[in-house]
Structure formats: structure tokens, C-alpha cells
Amino acid sequence: MPFTKHSKTTLAAESSAKKTLPEKPVIENKAKNIDGRSLAIHLKEDLVKRINVLEREHNIRPGLAIIRVGDDQASQVYVASKKRQCKEVGIRSFEHVLPGTIEPEGLLDLMQSINEDPEIHGLIVQLPLPKKFNSPEIIQTISPQKDVDGLHPLNLGKLFCDIKGGFVPCTPKGCIKLIHSVQKDLKGLKAVVIGTSNLVGKPLAHLLLKEGVTVSLLNAKTKDPKSLCSQADIVVAAAGVPYLVQGDWVKKGAIVIDVGINRLVDGQGKPYLVGDVDYDAVSKKAKAITPVPGGVGPMTVACLLENTVIAAENFYSS
């Protein structure tokens, strides 16, 4: 029988083929990947313009001093990245490396001289410091006007008291920009922030409160974090616990920001980075999610550069 499109046999074959076709694969709802690298590039492009204005109109080139104490490997990598990115946008950076054996007085003397140096607009002390240092005490000797990490009690106090003009810590500032890249108006939303450090959790909770968000701040002793998370429109994980936030912790359509940076080692002994969120599982439920690496990290550095530019802008206007 000649093959015709509409022959009975062909139709029969088609219909039986239909029956045997495998079921359509279920298309999983994949979250938007919030690309921290590209948002950071946009922010840095804007900073280049502001730095050009500072140079052209005020003859000021922003300067950032970075103090590193001891030989913490991760700190070396972070500081190298900060210096490279300073150079990219036109900020002068000065790294001061002190041996881990130095006494606190030696560190404080260096900080004092940087506080008084008019060429330097921002000063950061790379954390963590070796155990013998009392980090909060060291941080509060940074001049608040140069505290571009935003960790001095005066700057944190300004943030918590809604007083303008202080420096906002870089990671929370970056997290808010990442959330805004998905949704501008956050009023009335519920957020869960996991982790209560001065560096991330507490200032971020306050920034979210200022946006009209109802915030729950979770710590290591919180009972049933899963049920609290599963009610949240925004989940921010900043606990330093790999894969803490699982797929069934997150409500469908939530925005998930993964601040965690955890170094693990694979079967071959090769190190790799993971966040606090099980990305694969959570991205099937969330509306948008940040990857690790490539999410919060680049925005943290971009916000450090932004704070340094603000410090330089404040310098000429003061």
C-alpha cells in the first residue's frame, strides 16, 4: 500500500504511537538566578563616573587602606580581590600586612596613623583577626568617617536609630540591592534572616524593617527554623552552615539570598565553595535565588567600593 499521510494504517500507527509516547517531562519551575556579578559591574560603572567627578572637580582620588593581620588564607584571597577591584574603578588601595605575632598596640598605632592621613578616605581591618585580638574593640578605634565596612558602633547605631549619613555594612547593603533587583516594593512582605551577626544578620534585618518588611531573625537556638522559613517571602541565609536551607524550607515564589560561604572538599580532595542554601532543591521552588559563588560576594565588594567613594565625597563636602 502506498504511503499516504491519511491512510488508515498510518493514522492507526500514529494513534498507537501517541499511546506509547513517554509522558511529557514535567517542566520544573526554575528560579531566576540573581546575577550578583553583573549587578556589581553596573554599580562599579556608576562609581567610575563618580570618581571621575571627584578627580576633575575636587582633585580627590578615593583612597582605601586595608589592614590584614596574620596569614589567614581566605583573607589573603579576599583582600587581593578588593585591591584588584579598587584598581578597576580608580580607587587607590593600600594594603598593610602585619604579622600575627604583633601586639594589639602595634595594630592600634597603625590605625591611628591611617585615621589621621588625609589621603585615605576608607579604612578596613580584614576579619577575622587572630584570636588574641578583641575585634569589636579594634573596630571601634577606626575613625567613623573612614569606617567603610560600617561596623563601628556609631555607624551601626545610626543605622539602628534611622539617622542618615552613616555607613551601612557592605554585605547587608549588597543583599538589599540584590533583593531590589527582583522586587522594588517590599512593603508588607515577610522575611526570615538566618544569622544574627553585626556583620550581616542584624543590620540586614534593620534594612528590611525600614522597607516595611516583617522580619524574623533566626539564630542557632531557634526552634523549628523550617516552619518559620516556609512562611517567608524573602529568605536570607547567613549562618555559615552548608546546605542549611533545604527545598522544603522555602515557600513557592520566595526570594532567596544565600550569604553563606562554606569551603568543602570533594572526594578527590579538591576544595569547593557552597552556600547555606541547597541551590538545586530551592531553585525549584523560589522565584529568584542567588548562586554561590557569584551572588552576594561580588555585591559585597562593590558596596565596599561604593562606601569608599561616599567617604571621599563626604571628605570634600565636610
- The residue ranges that bind ligand NAD (CB under 6 A) are 171, 194-197, 199-201, 218-220, 222, 225, 238-241, 244, 259-262, 296-297, 300
Question: Residue 121 in contact with residue 146, Cβ under 8 Å?
Answer: yes
Name, in order, each residue with C-beta under 8 angstroms of 84's C-beta and a sequence gap of 6 or more. none
Question: Residue 85 in contact with residue 44, Cβ under 8 Å?
Answer: yes
Catalytic residue among 149, 233, 258, 278: 149
Catalytic residue among 126, 145, 173, 233: 126
Minimum distance from residue 23 beta carbon to ligand NAD (Å)? 39
Nearest to 315 by CA among 60, 55, 100, 74: 60
**Owner of C-alpha cell 542584624:** 202
Question: Residue 305 in contact with residue 86, Cβ under 8 Å?
Answer: yes
Minimum distance from residue 58 beta carbon to ligand NAD (Å)? 31
**Could you give the CA distance from residue 136 to residue 105 in angstroms, rounded to a whole number?**
15
Nearer to ligand NAD, 110 or 174 (CB): 174
Catalytic residue among 82, 158, 173, 177: 82
Catalytic residue at 149? Answer: yes
Nearer to ligand NAD, 176 or 261 (CB): 261
Question: Residue 62 in contact with residue 51, Cβ under 8 Å?
Answer: yes
Minimum distance from residue 162 beta carbon to ligand NAD (Å)? 23
Nearer to ligand NAD, 10 or 219 (CB): 219
Catalytic residue at 126? Answer: yes
For 138, the grid coordinates are 579594634
Minimum distance from residue 89 beta carbon to ligand NAD (Å)? 18
Nearer to ligand NAD, 60 or 250 (CB): 250
**Owner of C-alpha cell 600575627:** 100
Q: Which residues are catalytic?
A: 82, 126, 149
